A and B are shown apart, each in its own frame.
Chain A
Amino acid sequence: MDRLALDISIPLRTLRVDLELEVGRETVALVGPSGAGKTTVLRAIAGLVRPERGRISLGETAWLDTERGINRPPEERSVGYLFQDYALFPHMSVRKNVAFGGATRVDELLERFGIRHLARVRPGDVSGGERQRVALARAVARDPSVLLLDEPLSALDAHTRTAVRAELHELLREVRLPTVIVTHDFEDAAALADRIGVILDGKLLQNGTATELVRSPADPFVASLTGSVLLAGRARPGADGLTEVVLDDGTIVYSAERGSGRVGVVVHPWEITLAREAPTDSARNHLRGPVAALFPDGDRVRVRVGQLTAEITAAAARELELAPGEVVVASFKATGARLVPLAEAGS
């Protein structure tokens, strides 16, 4: 199996995309806010955008090499591209759409993606989830060497999304192709990809597995992306080798990590416990405040207390009789409070 390798630089109107990436038989997700240049990367790999300089290669084959003057047109790059809004041809039936990519195994693909009953239907008359399957079938019909998926789940409603995500995950494991997924949703990235690259303003901030990113975010943006709590404050050495952080509202929290100057305290919601009274336990940080809101999510509940978000089980929330306005104590250990450097306020 050939590796996809790229090292490209593309000027956009407000930013420059600079990216180096190698993708083997794995799925790499590029995560970042919209406008970070994620889609541009996919378009460059597919040959729809010409980078100002750089190289893109699949194994030994160069797709782009600006120094050697190589720039293969899109039709000569073996990619399966899933467009954000699927870009199905509205004037062709589902079958013809799939056959457009490659006519040899249309029936097999219609069967594989569970869309055989839609073969004669036009894409306009097909539901969102089915439309995605048609687009995927069409993308793989060409027997591509690389898969490029642009926001594969964003066009779907929450209900369809979970099911389609599972299908997509299965497909990716089955084809085992170098795959690049672009998404703004860390959860989707974590569910689908082996590795995640966080991209902001055209630059790769951090690259690692979802666990690595969650465990040790290199940057406040990465921390906020992974859904962790970020409390801003000023760090100074405290007693017992702990670092004392004076938060902007005056509260003091302790961290086992070293830090100084302006920092963000990163706490994962599942490391925060809630209680009616301040417990006498090993946790060094106890913050008292009223419950601001409760967000049930399956058998869990996310509880907002001041700036903190705690994730607890639904059963625990019932036992504590939590309701908005009830005063609780949120606790977390100093070892659960990671520090990331923040830019000085006002700079």
Chain B
Amino acid sequence: MSRLRAAGRQGFRALLLLAVAITVVFLALPIVAIFWEVGLAQAIDGLRSDVARDAFRVTLKTNAISMALILGVGTPAAYFLATRRFPGRSLVVTIIELPLVLPPAVAGLGLLVAFGRFGLLGEQLDSLGITVGFTQVAVILAITFVASPFYIRPAIAAFEAVDRTMLDASRTLGAGPAKTFWRVALPLAAGGLVAGAAVAFARGLGEFGATIMFAGSLQGVTQTVSLAIYQEFDVNLDIALAISALLVVTSGTLLLAVKALPLWTGSRSTSRFPFARSAST
């Protein structure tokens, strides 16, 4: 009887290990294949091509502006949502989270019918002489739309994790709400904010669906790295692989940085690791 049980335990353990092995191999294989297929020399050549250079230039510029927008507007918004309770708050949070679960194609179409020439705000923007669709502005809007919840969600969690007594103490020491935010809340939430920003940045770098629908794929203007990979896939596979390899390295580095962040900030950080609270997408 007990031998049967021991055998059962062993069998279950083997089953779990098998599941882990399948998961790891399946998830790692495509990454390994990219590096397998592209040699170092080919990769360097590929990255030197005009397409790749233009794509990286466009990607960095648009992502930098998007991140500035997300951080600049998202941080105070997250602070407000983390420190106040009001009717309709969960609705507001849900609206902010929506892009996480929205299919990118839907996001692209939505942006098009909102800001495009024949869209909701198209006429007003047109009369101001602003064309959004299929310009770099469209790329920025697409990235911002898709990536912001990846920052704002962990940012809310990070601000919520700040001990309210710290904020109270700041106020009784004569600091107004703004000074309390800058000197106390922001530094104490910094760990969670940086981690959230890194994830949002990684998401923005890889943005594809919404961008191609809303901004098109014009080399040097709206063609980001993801779009370039898609285009070169038909034209020059080596270039596509080279860009992909570099993106793997970049994203991997960002992920490691986010994981290592709690270690750096150590006990000072009151915020938790941001992945724990993110919705699965």
Whether chain B is bound by chain A comes out as yes
Partner of B165, one of A77, A83, A122, A142: A83
CB of A98 to closest CB in B, whole Å: 10
Shortest CB-to-CB span from B67 to chain A, Å, is: 24
CB distance from A319 to the nearest CB of B (A): 52
A100 engages B175 (CB within 8 Å):
yes
When A100-B183, A124-B267 are in contact, do A89 and B169 touch as well, CB less than 8 Å? yes
Within 8 A of A (CB), among B173-232: 173-177, 183-184, 187-188
Size of interface on A: residues with Cβ below 8 Å to B = 27
Determine which of B163, B172, B176 lies in contact with A46 in the assembled complex, contact meaning CB atoms within 8 Å: B172
Shortest Cβ distance from residue A70 to the other chain B in the assembled complex, whole angstroms: 17
Kindly supply a per-residue 1/0 record for chain B positions 112-155, scoring 1 wherever the CB is within 8 Å of any chain A CB and 0 otherwise: 00000000000000000000000000000000000000000000
Once bound together, how far apart are the Cα atoms of A122 and B266, in whole Å?
Answer: 13
CB of B187 to closest CB in A, whole Å: 5
B183 touches A74 (CB 8 A): no
Q: 6 closest pairs, A vs B, by CB?
A: A74-B171, A87-B169, A81-B172, A87-B165, A101-B173, A91-B187
1/0 per residue, CB under 8 A from A, across B36-51: the answer is 0000000000000000
- What 0/1 pattern do residues 43 to 54 of A give for CB contact below 8 A with B? 100111000000
Query: Is there contact, CB below 8 Å, between A75 and B176?
Result: yes
The distance in angstroms between the C-alpha atoms of A124 and B168, with both chains bound, is 19
- B174 A101 Cβ-Cβ under 8 A: yes
Q: Residues of A contacting B166 with CB < 8 Å?
A: 87, 89
Secondary structure call for the B interface:
helix
Judge if B75 is at the interface, Cβ distance under 8 Å. Answer: no
Is B170 part of the binding interface, using a Cβ–Cβ cutoff of 8 Å?
yes
Contacts A79-B172, A91-B268, A141-B173 known; 19 new A-B pairs at CB < 8 A: A48-B168, A48-B171, A74-B168, A74-B171, A75-B176, A80-B172, A87-B166, A87-B168, A87-B169, A89-B166, A89-B169, A89-B188, A90-B267, A100-B173, A100-B183, A102-B174, A122-B268, A139-B173, A142-B174
Is A73 close to B, CB under 8 A? yes
With A75-B175, A100-B183 already in contact, the answer to whether A124 and B165 are too (CB < 8 A) is no
7 contacts between A and B (CB under 8 A): A43-B168, A90-B267, A90-B268, A100-B173, A100-B183, A124-B267, A124-B268
CB distance from A192 to the nearest CB of B (A): 20
Residues of A whose CB lies within 8 Å of any CB of B are 43, 46-48, 73-75, 77, 79-81, 83, 85, 87-91, 100-102, 122, 124, 138-139, 141-142
- Collect the chain B residues with CB atoms within 8 Å of residue A91's CB: 187-188, 268
CB B163 to nearest CB in A, in angstroms, measures 7
Q: Is the CB of A73 within 8 A of B171?
A: yes
From A73, A87, A102, B163 is in contact (CB under 8 Å) with: A87
A79 to B171, CA, bound (A): 10
A148 and B10 CA atoms in complex are apart in Å by 63
Residues of A within 8 A of B172 (CB): 46-48, 74-75, 77, 79-81, 139
Pick the most buried of B168, B172, B176, B270: most chain A CB atoms within 10 A of its CB. B172
Beta-carbon contact of B187 and A138 below 8 Å: no
Does A83 contact B184, Cβ atoms closer than 8 Å? no
Q: Which residue of the partner chain A has the closest CB to B267?
A: A124
Q: Are A90 and B183 in contact (CB under 8 A)?
A: no
Least Cβ distance of A138 to chain B in Å?
A: 7
B171–A142 CB distance below 8 A: no
State A122–B177 Cα separation when bound (angstroms): 24
A291 to chain B, nearest CB (A): 46
Which of A85, A90, A124, A142 interacts with B173 by CB under 8 Å? A142
Interface residues of B in 242-278 (CB under 8 A from A): 267-268, 270
Q: Which single residue of chain B is at the shortest CB-CB distance from A142? A: B174
Tell me the bound Cα distance from A141 to B169 in angstroms: 13
Note all chain B residues with C-beta closer than 8 A to A87: 163, 165-166, 168-169
Instruction: List, in ascending order, chain B residues with CB within 8 A of A74's CB.
Output: 168, 171-172
Complex CA gap A83/B168 in Å reads 9
Question: Residues of B contacting A43 with CB < 8 Å?
Answer: 168
With both chains docked as a complex, state the minimum distance between the C-beta of B174 and any C-beta of chain A, in angstroms.
Answer: 5
CA of A47 to CA of B171, assembled, Å: 9
> How far, in whole Å, are A138 and B166 apart by their CA atoms in the complex?
13
Which residue on B lies nearest to A91, using beta carbons?
B187
B261 smallest CB distance to A (angstroms) = 15
